[in-house]
Amino acid sequence: GDDVDLKNSIRLIREVPDFPEPGVLFRDISPMLADPAALRAITDALGRGLEFDVVAGVEARGFLLGAAVAQAHGTGVIGLRKPGKLPEVADRISYELEYGHATLELPADTLRAGQRVLVVDDVLATGGTLGAACRLVRQAGSEVTAATVVMELAALGGRAKVDGEHVRALLRS
Ligand code: PRP
Protein backbone atom coordinates (compact mmCIF):
# COMPACT_ATOMS: atom_id res chain seq x y z
CA GLY A 1 0.00 0.00 0.00
CA ASP A 2 0.88 3.69 0.09
CA ASP A 3 2.68 3.58 3.44
CA VAL A 4 4.87 0.64 2.42
CA ASP A 5 5.85 2.43 -0.78
CA LEU A 6 6.69 5.57 1.19
CA LYS A 7 8.85 3.65 3.69
CA ASN A 8 10.69 1.86 0.90
CA SER A 9 11.19 5.17 -0.87
CA ILE A 10 12.85 6.74 2.11
CA ARG A 11 15.40 3.93 2.20
CA LEU A 12 16.55 5.09 -1.24
CA ILE A 13 17.83 8.42 0.10
CA ARG A 14 21.64 8.34 0.10
CA GLU A 15 23.61 9.81 2.98
CA VAL A 16 26.94 11.22 1.84
CA PRO A 17 29.38 12.36 4.55
CA ASP A 18 31.43 15.54 4.18
CA PHE A 19 29.56 17.01 1.22
CA PRO A 20 29.49 19.80 0.14
CA GLU A 21 31.95 20.53 2.95
CA PRO A 22 33.58 18.65 5.84
CA GLY A 23 31.18 17.83 8.67
CA VAL A 24 28.00 18.02 6.59
CA LEU A 25 25.99 14.83 5.99
CA PHE A 26 24.40 15.38 2.58
CA ARG A 27 21.06 13.72 1.80
CA ASP A 28 20.76 12.86 -1.87
CA ILE A 29 17.30 11.93 -3.12
CA SER A 30 18.53 11.10 -6.65
CA PRO A 31 18.18 7.29 -6.28
CA MET A 32 14.66 7.81 -4.91
CA LEU A 33 13.68 9.90 -7.93
CA ALA A 34 15.08 7.24 -10.24
CA ASP A 35 12.80 4.55 -8.80
CA PRO A 36 9.29 4.51 -10.33
CA ALA A 37 7.38 3.31 -7.25
CA ALA A 38 9.26 5.71 -5.00
CA LEU A 39 8.69 8.68 -7.29
CA ARG A 40 4.98 7.92 -7.33
CA ALA A 41 4.73 7.45 -3.55
CA ILE A 42 6.65 10.62 -2.75
CA THR A 43 4.78 12.65 -5.35
CA ASP A 44 1.41 11.52 -4.02
CA ALA A 45 2.37 12.21 -0.40
CA LEU A 46 3.69 15.72 -1.05
CA GLY A 47 0.44 17.01 -2.54
CA ARG A 48 -2.16 14.83 -0.84
CA GLY A 49 -5.23 16.67 0.43
CA LEU A 50 -3.90 20.13 -0.46
CA GLU A 51 -5.59 22.62 -2.77
CA PHE A 52 -3.36 24.68 -5.02
CA ASP A 53 -3.36 26.29 -8.47
CA VAL A 54 0.32 25.92 -9.32
CA VAL A 55 3.50 24.31 -7.97
CA ALA A 56 6.75 26.21 -7.38
CA GLY A 57 9.80 23.93 -7.29
CA VAL A 58 13.13 25.15 -5.91
CA GLU A 59 16.35 24.59 -7.89
CA ALA A 60 17.47 21.93 -8.42
CA ARG A 61 15.84 18.76 -7.11
CA GLY A 62 12.67 20.71 -6.36
CA PHE A 63 12.29 21.09 -10.14
CA LEU A 64 12.01 17.32 -10.60
CA LEU A 65 9.70 16.76 -7.64
CA GLY A 66 7.65 19.84 -8.40
CA ALA A 67 6.96 18.80 -11.98
CA ALA A 68 5.83 15.35 -10.84
CA VAL A 69 3.51 16.80 -8.19
CA ALA A 70 2.09 19.30 -10.68
CA GLN A 71 1.39 16.60 -13.26
CA ALA A 72 -0.33 14.41 -10.67
CA HIS A 73 -2.59 17.28 -9.62
CA GLY A 74 -3.22 18.74 -13.07
CA THR A 75 -1.45 22.04 -12.41
CA GLY A 76 1.51 23.78 -14.00
CA VAL A 77 4.94 24.14 -12.44
CA ILE A 78 7.27 27.11 -11.93
CA GLY A 79 11.00 26.78 -11.29
CA LEU A 80 12.41 29.17 -8.68
CA ARG A 81 15.96 29.66 -9.90
CA LYS A 82 19.38 30.61 -8.72
CA PRO A 83 20.60 33.93 -10.15
CA GLY A 84 21.93 34.46 -13.63
CA LYS A 85 19.95 31.69 -15.34
CA LEU A 86 16.75 33.44 -16.43
CA PRO A 87 16.45 35.83 -19.38
CA GLU A 88 13.54 37.68 -17.77
CA VAL A 89 12.82 37.87 -14.06
CA ALA A 90 9.46 38.84 -12.57
CA ASP A 91 10.77 39.14 -9.02
CA ARG A 92 13.70 38.07 -6.86
CA ILE A 93 14.58 37.63 -3.22
CA SER A 94 17.93 37.51 -1.44
CA TYR A 95 18.49 35.74 1.85
CA GLU A 96 21.25 35.01 4.31
CA LEU A 97 23.04 31.69 4.53
CA GLU A 98 25.33 30.60 7.35
CA TYR A 99 28.21 31.93 5.29
CA GLY A 100 27.25 34.53 2.73
CA HIS A 101 23.96 35.02 0.93
CA ALA A 102 21.88 33.58 -1.88
CA THR A 103 19.14 34.67 -4.27
CA LEU A 104 16.09 33.02 -5.83
CA GLU A 105 14.40 34.36 -8.95
CA LEU A 106 10.85 33.99 -10.26
CA PRO A 107 10.63 33.67 -14.07
CA ALA A 108 8.60 36.28 -15.98
CA ASP A 109 5.01 35.47 -17.01
CA THR A 110 4.55 32.48 -14.73
CA LEU A 111 2.89 33.19 -11.39
CA ARG A 112 -0.36 35.17 -11.39
CA ALA A 113 -1.44 37.30 -8.44
CA GLY A 114 -3.82 35.46 -6.14
CA GLN A 115 -2.82 31.97 -7.19
CA ARG A 116 -2.48 29.36 -4.46
CA VAL A 117 1.03 27.94 -4.60
CA LEU A 118 2.45 24.65 -3.38
CA VAL A 119 6.17 25.19 -2.74
CA VAL A 120 8.25 22.01 -3.20
CA ASP A 121 11.88 21.19 -2.41
CA ASP A 122 13.79 18.06 -1.46
CA VAL A 123 15.38 18.98 1.87
CA LEU A 124 14.68 21.52 4.63
CA ALA A 125 18.03 22.11 6.36
CA THR A 126 18.69 25.57 7.86
CA GLY A 127 15.41 26.71 6.28
CA GLY A 128 16.87 29.69 4.45
CA THR A 129 15.96 28.38 1.02
CA LEU A 130 12.40 27.24 1.74
CA GLY A 131 11.66 30.39 3.75
CA ALA A 132 12.92 32.59 0.91
CA ALA A 133 10.89 30.65 -1.66
CA CYS A 134 7.72 31.30 0.36
CA ARG A 135 8.52 34.98 0.79
CA LEU A 136 9.13 35.31 -2.94
CA VAL A 137 5.70 33.84 -3.68
CA ARG A 138 4.03 36.23 -1.25
CA GLN A 139 6.05 39.20 -2.45
CA ALA A 140 4.72 38.46 -5.95
CA GLY A 141 1.14 38.73 -4.67
CA SER A 142 0.27 35.06 -4.38
CA GLU A 143 -0.38 32.82 -1.42
CA VAL A 144 1.46 29.76 -0.13
CA THR A 145 -0.82 26.78 0.42
CA ALA A 146 2.01 24.79 1.97
CA ALA A 147 5.77 24.40 1.89
CA THR A 148 6.56 20.74 1.33
CA VAL A 149 9.78 18.74 1.44
CA VAL A 150 10.74 15.09 1.43
CA MET A 151 13.12 15.45 4.36
CA GLU A 152 13.46 17.88 7.26
CA LEU A 153 16.72 17.94 9.20
CA ALA A 154 14.89 18.84 12.37
CA ALA A 155 17.96 19.35 14.56
CA LEU A 156 18.92 22.42 12.50
CA GLY A 157 15.69 24.17 13.47
CA GLY A 158 15.09 25.42 9.93
CA ARG A 159 11.31 25.27 10.28
CA ALA A 160 11.48 28.55 12.24
CA LYS A 161 12.68 30.31 9.07
CA VAL A 162 9.57 29.16 7.23
CA ASP A 163 7.62 31.13 9.77
CA GLY A 164 3.85 31.24 9.46
CA GLU A 165 3.68 28.69 6.64
CA HIS A 166 2.14 25.26 6.73
CA VAL A 167 5.24 23.03 6.46
CA ARG A 168 4.87 19.39 5.42
CA ALA A 169 7.87 17.07 5.70
CA LEU A 170 7.46 13.41 4.76
CA LEU A 171 10.42 12.45 6.91
CA ARG A 172 12.19 14.08 9.87
CA SER A 173 15.68 13.14 10.90
C1 PRP B 1 19.88 22.15 -0.97
C2 PRP B 1 18.47 21.63 -0.94
C3 PRP B 1 17.65 22.83 -0.57
C4 PRP B 1 18.59 23.62 0.30
C5 PRP B 1 18.24 23.42 1.74
O6 PRP B 1 20.13 22.74 -2.21
O7 PRP B 1 18.09 21.09 -2.19
O8 PRP B 1 17.27 23.59 -1.71
O9 PRP B 1 19.92 23.12 0.06
O10 PRP B 1 19.15 24.12 2.56
P11 PRP B 1 18.70 25.22 3.61
O12 PRP B 1 17.45 24.73 4.30
O13 PRP B 1 19.87 25.27 4.55
O14 PRP B 1 18.50 26.50 2.88
P15 PRP B 1 21.62 22.94 -2.74
O16 PRP B 1 22.21 24.14 -2.09
O17 PRP B 1 22.35 21.65 -2.57
O18 PRP B 1 21.41 23.31 -4.27
P19 PRP B 1 20.97 22.42 -5.53
O20 PRP B 1 19.63 21.81 -5.19
O21 PRP B 1 20.86 23.42 -6.65
O22 PRP B 1 22.02 21.38 -5.75
* CA-proximal residue: ligand 1, atom 10 (nearest): 125
Per DSSP, the residues of 45-108 read: HHHTT---SEEEEETTHHHHHHHHHHHHHT-EEEEEB-TT--SSEEEEEEEE-SSSEEEEEEET
pLDDT (tens digit per residue) in 116-146: 999 999 999 999 999 999 999 999 999 999 9
* CA-proximal residue: ligand 1, atom 20 (nearest): 60
pLDDT (tens digit per residue) in 66-112: 999 999 999 999 999 999 999 999 999 999 987 889 999 999 999 99
What ipTM was assigned to the predicted interfaces of this complex?
0.98
- Residue 16 has what pLDDT? 96
**Which residues, at least 6 apart from 35, have a Cβ–Cβ distance to it below 8 Å?**
9, 12
- On average, the pLDDT of the chain sits at 96
Q: Which of 21, 27, 92, 98 is catalytic?
A: 98
- Residue 98 has what pLDDT? 78
Q: Which of 61, 81, 159, 168 is catalytic?
A: 61
Which domains are present in the chain? 51-172 (3.40.50.2020)
Q: Are 158 and 130 in contact (CB under 8 A)?
A: yes
Judged against a pLDDT cut of 90, whether residue 2 lies above it is answered with no
Atom of ligand 1 nearest to the CA of 124: 12
Distance between CA atoms of residues 153 and 79, nearest Å:
23
Active site residue 105: no
pLDDT (tens digit per residue) in 17-70: 999 999 999 999 999 999 999 999 999 999 999 999 999 999 999 999 999 999
**Ligand 1: distance of its center to the CA of 65 in Å?**
14
Active site residue 88: no
125 touches ligand 1 (CB under 6 Å) = yes
**Ligand 1: distance of its center to the CA of 48 in Å?**
23
Radius of gyration of the CA atoms of the chain, in A: 15
Judged against a pLDDT cut of 80, whether residue 1 lies above it is answered with no
Q: Are 93 and 71 in contact (CB under 8 A)?
A: no
